[in-house]
């Protein structure tokens, strides 16, 4: 490592000024000469057979250059995990908002008029709108041909669809003997919890610009994975990948919602048809109609144990609403619904069944937290319920059962860099757990959890030395606002002994940058960061070898040299040195080649679980991060409004490469969690999104932002992370709902098992509590009736 230190410093984002001054070009800003505007015709039915599509009138309209339907596209299904979708609906539609046709015109009003000119005749079919309906034996099938679908070849193969049903996949965890443990247990409690859909609500909607010629296809996208887009488009259109160049524009937020290529194939098809560049930008209403947000979940949980508080068994059934396509729902069902569902606890006997179930609604996709907040809401709420019934302190109950270093996970993995007890201890101290509020209607709540980083994925990087001693880093990872450009520049600068301003990061261009699986699941710092570090080390070794030749008269060997403040110095003899620029220039003039370092990294996790038990000695994730979340709330008994007075948390990040960005990521994640807890829910009525705008869909603003106390723990660096770092971008969201729900119970005495915790829902619970107490003869016993 070079002697100057950039790692651990709170640098502001290197692209921050460019963004706040409006110079950054985002997807919605993109424009090229001759560009047409694309629009998509969507289904008004949740489930219907397509009888006829007549686009003849639209094709005759002036200033309309392309009109396409399924007949104009390859007859290939697509999908993130299972090929269960059409780019444009073929034969039938499966949700309101499914794309049926698309047009390209010289301006947006003409494109919209062309959509209205397309005539589609439908035959409406019976539909299913909930997981309960979908699982009935006689339920209408969303996918009649489910048994014949193929797994996606380029993303994810962990699919077990059940033909003749609406079950897209069923994943099992079996550990120990749960039946025996339940029979021998001294207590057992069973509960059911519900978590609704919420939307990503990124600032910038989806935007894609496609220009297809005979020689090359150019795609500008604000998606989260350029190489996935290229693979998807090449496969769909049967083109060699070198004929397709995918480039990221600036990205105004993603949170998982911009991983799956939704627009790119349609924009490309319109460009091929028209011979002109075509841009498609979603409206906010289309975002809600086409992107389903996070998966709604029903979590049934039964826990059993001994009187001393030891949990001996846990049985869970987690059912996820997939909508009309599996997409990333299989990742959610596997990693959160099965592998991580039982929480950061040592439980010797586990039985977990995770189901991903089709319904006739827009399919959800990846979402920050990747399903962990849904299961955490259930498990950590029940942990508080059990602790109270056993007469145990909530912190002590968790401490007794929490995992430790070298504990085994639900799948049998030996865990390392485990910091959950330290997080919980720090939280208990910071929130003053031993001092519950004395004011009426106030309470504190806690929750702990864990979050995986993406397994089975890879990153590569290049560190290129320029003739003046500056550095250009090439990475395929997308910068979506999380600050990866800054962090990767810090890593490169750390190893090469240069200033942060000497490093330029070029990202996510399939023709320029090396391969990367994309930006998702808190993987960029861990995966791309490792790749950049290895590339910089490679470049540094080349530099030191060249410098040793230049300093041969001083008897300098490469291992006796170091890079300090943009100079190559002989260790112990600072007077013997060369400017770094002289060394890099010498590499070009003497050898004729620049110094180019290369690095690659593949995450440790693998999808190698036994299909019947879910057990494996191979890690299921590249890393696990740990969270202890606290909340203090006040409840207005007249309105039911829950006011969060403060959020306090301790978060395990291994090593904070940039503490400022770590805090920013955690605070933003906390706000997303608070939104899902108190305000947000995608309201569906027979498959129709009823609140598809920010006028009707409530998200927290700065006015609803409570004071936040963030404690970043660096005591247990991860052995495989760059400098011990772990990904932290999703840490804040996973445990907010459970902490607030537990605080609500302590403040008002009502246990609510369905989100969001709106004023009306709390008032209903308070009224049920009053009725319950009257039936108990005026008892002050707290109410734990079902809130379903």
pLDDT given for residue 668 in this prediction: 97
The two three-digit tokens of residue 603, written as one number: 């995450």
**Please, which pLDDT band fits residue 777 given cuts at 50, 70 and 90?**
confident
Question: Is residue 243 predicted with pLDDT exceeding 80?
Answer: yes
- Kindly give the interhelix angle for 736-748 and 372-390, rounded to the nearest 10 degrees: 30
pLDDT given for residue 785 in this prediction: 52
Instruction: Compute the residue count for the chain.
Output: 788
Question: Is residue 155 predicted with pLDDT exceeding 50?
Answer: no
Bridge partners (DSSP) of residue 727 are none
Q: What is the 3-state secondary structure (H, E, C) of 407-432?
A: CECCCCCECCCCCHHHHHHHHHHHCC
State the CATH class of domain 16-23+457-602. Answer: alpha beta
- Kindly give the interhelix angle for 420-430 and 394-401, rounded to the nearest 10 degrees: 170
List the Cα angle 501/504/510 in 5-degree steps.
165
What CATH code is assigned to 31-125+203-253+258-290?
Answer: 3.90.1170.50
pLDDT given for residue 611 in this prediction: 86
Question: pLDDT (tens digit, 9 = 90+) per residue, 483-506?
Answer: 999 999 999 999 999 999 999 999
**Are 16-23+457-602 and 31-125+203-253+258-290 the same fold in CATH?**
no
pLDDT given for residue 662 in this prediction: 98
pLDDT given for residue 787 in this prediction: 37
Give the C-alpha separation, 687 to 693, whole Å.
16
Domain locations in the chain as residue ranges: 16-23+457-602, 31-125+203-253+258-290, 366-454+621-778
Among candidates 771, 673, 44, which has minimal Cα distance to 374? 673
**Please, which pLDDT band fits residue 604 given cuts at 50, 70 and 90?**
low
Question: pLDDT (tens digit, 9 = 90+) per residue, 359-379?
Answer: 999 999 999 999 999 999 999
**Yes or no: domain 366-454+621-778 corresponds to CATH 3.30.365.10:** yes
Single pTM value for the model: 0.96
52: left (phi over 0), alpha (psi -120 to 50) or beta: beta
- Kindly give the interhelix angle for 736-748 and 759-775, rounded to the nearest 10 degrees: 40
pLDDT given for residue 691 in this prediction: 98
Match 């060369």 to its residue by tokens: 578
CB-based contacts of 203, cutoff 8 Å, min separation 6: 252, 253
Question: Is residue 607 predicted with pLDDT exceeding 70?
Answer: no
The mean pLDDT of 459-484, rounded to a whole number, is: 96
pLDDT given for residue 587 in this prediction: 87
Question: pLDDT (tens digit, 9 = 90+) per residue, 161-209?
Answer: 999 999 999 999 999 999 999 999 999 999 999 999 999 999 999 999 9
- Kindly give the interhelix angle for 529-550 and 580-591, rounded to the nearest 10 degrees: 80
**Please, which pLDDT band fits residue 75 given cuts at 50, 70 and 90?**
very high
The two three-digit tokens of residue 12, written as one number: 């502001």
Give the C-alpha separation, 741 to 754, whole Å.
10
Question: Is residue 786 predicted with pLDDT exceeding 50?
Answer: no
Question: pLDDT (tens digit, 9 = 90+) per residue, 59-72?
Answer: 999 999 999 999 99
Question: Is residue 414 predicted with pLDDT exceeding 60?
Answer: yes
Q: Picking from 159-163, 740-744, 762-766, which range would have the lowest pLDDT averaged per residue?
A: 159-163
Question: Is residue 157 predicted with pLDDT exceeding 60?
Answer: no
Q: Picking from 17-21, 152-156, 203-207, 701-705, which range would have the lowest pLDDT averaged per residue?
A: 152-156
List the Cα angle 264/267/272 in 5-degree steps.
120
Give the C-alpha separation, 334 to 620, whole Å.
10
Rounded to 10 degrees, what is the CA torsion of 584, 585, 587, 592?
A: 140
Among candidates 631, 751, 674, 634, which has minimal Cα distance to 378? 751
- Mean pLDDT of the chain, nearest integer: 94
Question: Is residue 451 predicted with pLDDT exceeding 60?
Answer: yes
Alpha helices of 210-263 — where are they, by DSSP H? 226-237
Question: pLDDT (tens digit, 9 = 90+) per residue, 624-633?
Answer: 999 999 999 9
Question: pLDDT (tens digit, 9 = 90+) per residue, 555-595?
Answer: 899 999 999 989 999 999 988 999 999 999 998 887 667 88
């Amino acid at each position: 490592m070079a002697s100057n230190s950039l790692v651990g410093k709170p640098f502001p984002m290197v692209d921050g000024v460019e963004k706040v001054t409006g110079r950054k070009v985002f997807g919605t800003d993109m424009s090229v000469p001759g560009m047409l505007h694309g629009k998509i015709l969507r289904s008004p039915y949740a489930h219907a057979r397509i009888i006829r599509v007549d686009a003849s009138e639209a094709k005759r309209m002036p200033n309309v250059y392309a009109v396409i339907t399924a007949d104009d596209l390859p007859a290939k299904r697509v999908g993130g995990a299972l090929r269960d979708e059409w780019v444009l609906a073929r034969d039938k539609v499966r949700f309101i908002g499914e794309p049926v046709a698309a047009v390209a015109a010289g301006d947006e009003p003409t494109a919209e008029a062309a959509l209205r000119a397309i005539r589609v005749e439908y035959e409406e079919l019976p539909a299913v709108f909930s997981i309960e309906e979908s699982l009935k034996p006689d339920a209408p099938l969303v996918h009649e041909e489910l048994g014949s679908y193929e797994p996606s070849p380029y993303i994810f193969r962990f699919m077990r669809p059940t033909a003749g049903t609406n079950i897209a996949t069923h994943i099992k965890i079996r550990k120990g003997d749960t039946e025996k443990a339940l029979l021998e247990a001294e207590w057992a409690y069973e509960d059911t919890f519900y978590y609704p859909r919420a939307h990503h609500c990124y600032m910038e909607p989806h935007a894609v610009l496609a220009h297809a010629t005979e020689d090359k296809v150019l795609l500008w996208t604000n998606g989260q994975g350029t190489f996935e887009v290229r693979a998807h488009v090449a496969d769909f259109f049967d083109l060699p990948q070198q004929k397709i160049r995918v480039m990221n524009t600036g990205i105004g937020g993603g949170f998982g919602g911009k991983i799956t290529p939704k627009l790119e194939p349609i924009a490309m098809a319109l460009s091929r048809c028209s011979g002109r560049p075509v841009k498609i930008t979603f409206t906010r209403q289309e975002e809600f109609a086409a992107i389903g947000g996070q998966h709604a979940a029903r979590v049934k949980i039964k826990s059993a144990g001994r009187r001393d508080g030891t949990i001996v068994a846990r049985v869970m059934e987690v059912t996820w609403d997939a909508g009309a396509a599996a997409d990333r729902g299989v990742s959610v069902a596997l990693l959160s619904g099965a592998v991580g569902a039982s929480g950061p606890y040592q439980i010797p006997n586990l039985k977990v069944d995770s189901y991903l179930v089709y319904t006739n609604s827009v399919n959800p996709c990846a979402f920050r937290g990747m399903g962990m907040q849904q299961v955490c809401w259930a498990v950590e709420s029940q942990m508080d319920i059990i602790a109270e019934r056993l007469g145990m302190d909530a912190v002590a109950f968790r401490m007794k059962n929490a995992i430790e270093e070298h504990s085994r996970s639900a799948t049998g993995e030996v865990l390392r860099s485990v910091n959950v007890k330290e997080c919980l201890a720090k939280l208990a101290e910071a929130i003053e757990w031993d001092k519950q509020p004395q004011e009426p209607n106030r309470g504190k709540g806690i929750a702990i959890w864990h979050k995986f980083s993406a397994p089975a994925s890879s990153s590569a990087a290049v560190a290129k030395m320029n003739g003046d001693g500056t550095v250009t880093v090439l990475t395929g990872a997308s910068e979506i606002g999380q600050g990866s450009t800054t962090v990767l520049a810090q890593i490169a600068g750390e190893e090469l002994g240069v200033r942060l301003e000497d490093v330029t990061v070029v990202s996510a261009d399939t023709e320029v940058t090396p391969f990367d699986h994309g930006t998702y699941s808190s993987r960029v710092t861990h995966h791309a960061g490792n790749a950049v570090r290895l590339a910089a080390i490679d470049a540094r070794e080349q530099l030191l070898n060249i410098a040793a030749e230049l300093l041969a008269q001083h008897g300098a060997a490469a291992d006796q040299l170091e890079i300090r403040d943009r100079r190559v110095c002989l260790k112990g003899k600072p007077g013997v040195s060369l400017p770094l620029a002289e060394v890099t220039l010498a590499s070009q003039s003497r050898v004729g080649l620049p110094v180019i370092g290369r690095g690659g990294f593949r995450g440790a996790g693998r999808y190698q679980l036994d299909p019947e038990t879910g057990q494996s000695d191979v890690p299921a994730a590249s890393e696990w991060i740990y969270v202890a979340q606290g909340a203090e709330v006040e409840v207005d008994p007249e309105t039911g409004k829950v006011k969060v007075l403060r959020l306090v948390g301790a978060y395990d990040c291994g090593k904070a490469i940039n503490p400022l960005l770590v805090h920013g990521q955690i605070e933003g994640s906390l706000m997303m969690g608070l939104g899902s807890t108190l305000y947000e829910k995608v309201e569906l009525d027979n498959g129709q999104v009823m609140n598809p705008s920010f006028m009707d869909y409530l998200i927290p603003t700065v006015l609803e932002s409570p004071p936040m106390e963030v404690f970043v723990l660096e005591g247990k660096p991860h052995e495989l992370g760059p400098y011990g770092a772990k990904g932290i971008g999703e840490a804040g969201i996973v445990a907010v709902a459970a902490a607030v729900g537990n605080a609500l119970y302590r403040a008002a005495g009502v246990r609510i098992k369905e989100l969001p915790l709106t004023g009306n829902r709390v008032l209903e619970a308070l009224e049920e509590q009053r009725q319950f107490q009257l039936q108990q003869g005026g008892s002050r016993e707290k109410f734990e009736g079902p809130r379903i």
